[in-house]
Amino acid sequence: MDTYNNEGIVLCAANSYNQKYYLNSDFAELPESIKEELQIMCVLFTEDVGGILEIVFTEDGELEFKTSFEEGDYFYDEIGSVLKIKQYQNQKRDMLEALEMYYKVRFLGKGMDEE
């Protein structure tokens, strides 16, 4: 794994300040449709609410959405960010659960029946 932050392994991230999207190269073998969906989610999030979005795998393989913004960014929509994350968690539940299972099996060495 080449991309760690202090709270887990970054799957992907988008930054509204420099208008960049990042996908961790350790996940390059994911299907193109999943990679495209992740990019769309991240970029739309930062366009809608601003700031930075990271989708991170925790130590136990759960996906978390982490947001941050630069000091003095009065355009960042903190309430909108919470609502948008809840929307993604509901609308993309199947994909997010499949990514968690993939990570647990591929990187943590857990079997399909282990949780």
Give the start-to-end residue ranges of the domains of the chain.
4-106
Each residue's pLDDT expressed in tens, for the chain with a length of 115 residues: 345 556 799 999 999 999 999 999 999 999 999 999 999 999 999 999 999 999 999 999 999 999 999 999 999 999 999 999 999 999 999 999 999 999 999 999 987 665 5
Amino acid identity of 112?
Answer: M
DSSP assignments along 50-101, one per residue: -SEEEEEE-TTS-EEEEEE--TT-TT--HHHHHHHHHHHHHHTHHHHHHHHH
pTM of the predicted structure, to 2 decimals: 0.89
Alpha-carbon distance of 26 to 107, in angstroms, equals 10
DSSP assignment letter at 109:
-
Mapping DSSP to helix (H, G, I), strand (E, B) and coil, where does residue 21 land?
A: strand
Alpha-carbon distance of 1 to 36, in angstroms, equals 21
